[in-house]
Amino acid sequence: MSIEVRQINKRFGDFVALDDINLDIQTGELLALLGPSGCGKTTLLRIIAGLETPDRGSILFHGEDATDTHVRERQVGFVFQHYALFRHMTVFENVAFGLRVRPKHTRPTDAAIKQKVHTLLELVQLDWLADRYPAQLSGGQRQRIALARALAVEPRVLLLDEPFGALDTKVRKELRRWLRRLHDEMHITSVFVTHDQEEALEVADRVVVMNKGRIEQTGTPEQVYDQPATPFVYQFLGDVNLFHSRVHEGWAEVGGTRFAAPEAGDKAVIYVRPHEIDIQRIATDKALAGVITHVRLLGATVRLEVNVAAGDPVEVELTRERYTEGRWSVGEAVWLSPREARVYAG
């Protein structure tokens, strides 16, 4: 089912949580709402679910206005950040809840409920936990039970609020691959909220980057990473070095290398990712002179911190091989030149 978000506004007191949000979510896609905390992503998700009412604007489910539909009737599956499992019910009863509270004439029989619940528990590979209570489960297990519970009511859309936020790194990685596979099997329209760019890029079909109640960019993971629309997106999706430059005849310059500058203004900020910088020992007038002050080994890559004459220290990322070949060490004088960069008006 497709979802259309039309000119949604929401304030909490003086705080503008959402400022004129427009968004189309296509049937069957897995969409990530990505942004720092306080950017409004959770509020948007809750408005789609019907847990929050917008001040203005409308939500369309499959072309029909659902703005005033009560959360009960929206047929959405919602997975809460802290799962919100009913602590006094077993896993089985938690998953069965949505079926048991249906009005008599649409309620499945006990046998049908039992079968459905077990099918779902098998789907999330936790059939053997049916009689446990939530308190007896691990975080990852709770997460999967919360998902099974949300799926039990056969939702038209699945909404997940920071689904992996409360888990440790290893479980998180396993679960997000599992979620991706599950989505590929079921093809249910899904939206999840996250502040972790790696998670969004890895799992989602499309990523919506939000900041301060506005959408900064919408696109596939490749698009938002390779062609960031705004400086915010560029910074949010990975580490970055900033260089300030004056614009001369349409060109901005970093250590002698020139980049095309936007037309507006005579100042520019040049964004360069650490792995897009070349480092060498031979002085050229086209490079930025500096001194290595720190070397940090980060597994497969190595980060060098280089002090330059003007501005903040520059971070340079090398592969392990290049680092070993070059035998870089602290205190050495080096010259830097960016291979690629994006230039925004400063």
Partner 1 sequence: MAIKQHSVLPGFGLSLGYTLLYLSLIVLLPLSALVIKVTHMEWAAFWHAVTEPRVLASYRVTFGASLIAATLNLVFGLLLAWVLVRYPFPGKRLVDALVDLPFALPTAVAGIALATLYAPNGSIGRWLDPLGIKVAFTPLGIVFALTFITLPFVVRTVQPVLQDLETELEEAAASLGATRWQVFQRVILPTLLPALLTGFALAFARAIGEYGSVIFIAGNMPFVSEITPLMIISKLEQYDYLGATAIALVMLAVSFVMLLVINGLQWWSAKRLGRRK
Partner 2 sequence: MAGTQNAPRSIVTTESPLVRWLLTAIALLFVALFLVIPLVSVFAEAFKQGWQLYLAALIEPDALAAIKLTLLTALVAVPLNLVFGVAAAWAIAKFDFKGKSFLITLIDLPFSVSPVVAGLIYVLLFGAQGWWGPWLAEHDIKIIFAVPGIVLATVFVTFPFVARELIPLMEAQGSEEEQAALVLGASGWQTFWRVTLPNIKWGLLYGVILANARAMGEFGAVSVVSGHIRGMTNTIPLHVEILYNEYNFVAAFACASMLALLALVTLAAKSYVEWAAARQAAEDRRQAVE
Encoding tokens for residue 47? 């408005």
For residue 334, the Cα-to-chain-centroid distance in whole angstroms is: 36
Binding of partner 2 at residue 251 (CB under 8 A)?
no
Q: Which of residues 20-59 bind partner 1 (CB under 8 A)?
A: 37-38, 42-43, 50-53
Encoding tokens for residue 9? 């506004």
The entry of partner 1, partner 2, none that residue 42 binds, CB within 5 to 8 Å by partner kind: partner 1
Binding of partner 2 at residue 152 (CB under 8 A)?
yes
Q: Which of residues 184-203 bind partner 1 (CB under 8 A)?
A: none
Alpha-carbon torsion, ordered 104, 107, 112, 113, to 10 deg: -110
Number of residues this chain uses to bind partner 1 (CB under 8 A): 14
Number of residues this chain uses to bind partner 2 (CB under 8 A): 31
67 backbone dihedrals φ, ψ, rounded to 5°: -55, -40
Residues 6+ apart with CB under 8 A from 66: 50, 59, 60, 74
- Residue 178 in contact with residue 148, Cβ under 8 Å? no
Kind of pairing between the strands at 342-345 and 288-298: unpaired
Q: How far is the CB of 111 from partner 2 (least distance, A)?
A: 20
Considering only 24-32, 116-124, 138-146, 262-270, which stretch makes contact with partner 2 by CB under 8 A? 138-146
Cβ proximity to partner 1, 83 vs 271, nearer residue: 83
Out of 1, 16, 60, 71, the residue judged to bind partner 1 by CB under 8 A: 71
Cβ proximity to partner 2, 33 vs 150, nearer residue: 150
251 backbone dihedrals φ, ψ, rounded to 5°: -125, 135
Considering only 1-9, 136-144, 263-271, 299-307, which stretch makes contact with partner 2 by CB under 8 A? 136-144
Q: Whole-angstrom distance between the N-terminal and C-terminal Cα of the chain?
A: 42
Cβ proximity to partner 2, 102 vs 281, nearer residue: 102
Out of 53, 138, 220, 284, the residue judged to bind partner 2 by CB under 8 A: 138
DSSP states of 134-177 as a string? GGGS-HHHHHHHHHHHHHHT--SEEEEESTTTTS-HHHHHHHHH
The residues that touch partner 2, with contacts defined as CB under 8 A, are 49-51, 71-73, 76-78, 80, 82, 84-89, 97-98, 101-102, 133-135, 138-139, 142, 149-150, 152-153
